[in-house]
Amino acid sequence: MDDTWNTLNSLAQSLDSQTAMVGEQRWLVQIVKLQEEVGEVAEAAIGALGENPRKGRSHDWDDVRKEACDVAVTALLLLVRMGGDPRWFFEEHLRMVAARTASARPLAP
């Protein structure tokens, strides 16, 4: 997992070196980029189902997986670019989500 965070830090540094925006402006642009990526995973899913009458089956489920990876990377880059300790923040949040899920009551049949 260290390689993942090292790669994310490197990508964030590269992105930050290519913009004149600072602080919250960078974060906002990254949030907009995240929304763009979410739209692309939706487009790929629609294409995998063949539900766009104009395009038909324009994607497959591997395309959806790739786009989902882009969403995950873009979200993690947002955490890195916001500073602090993104790895700790992510892992702590993941623990809270897992605990919340483990304590959730099953749905009634």
Q: Is 6 left (phi over 0), alpha (psi -120 to 50) or beta?
A: alpha
pLDDT at residue 1 above 70? no
Q: pLDDT digits over 32-79, tens only?
A: 999 999 999 999 999 999 998 899 999 999 999 999 999 999 999 999
pLDDT of residue 70: 98
Q: Is the pLDDT of residue 98 over 70?
A: yes
The burial of 48, by beta-carbon neighbours within 10 Å (0-12 exposed, 13-18 middle, 19 or more buried), is given as middle
> What is the model's pLDDT at position 41?
98
Q: Considering the entire predicted model, what is its pTM?
A: 0.88
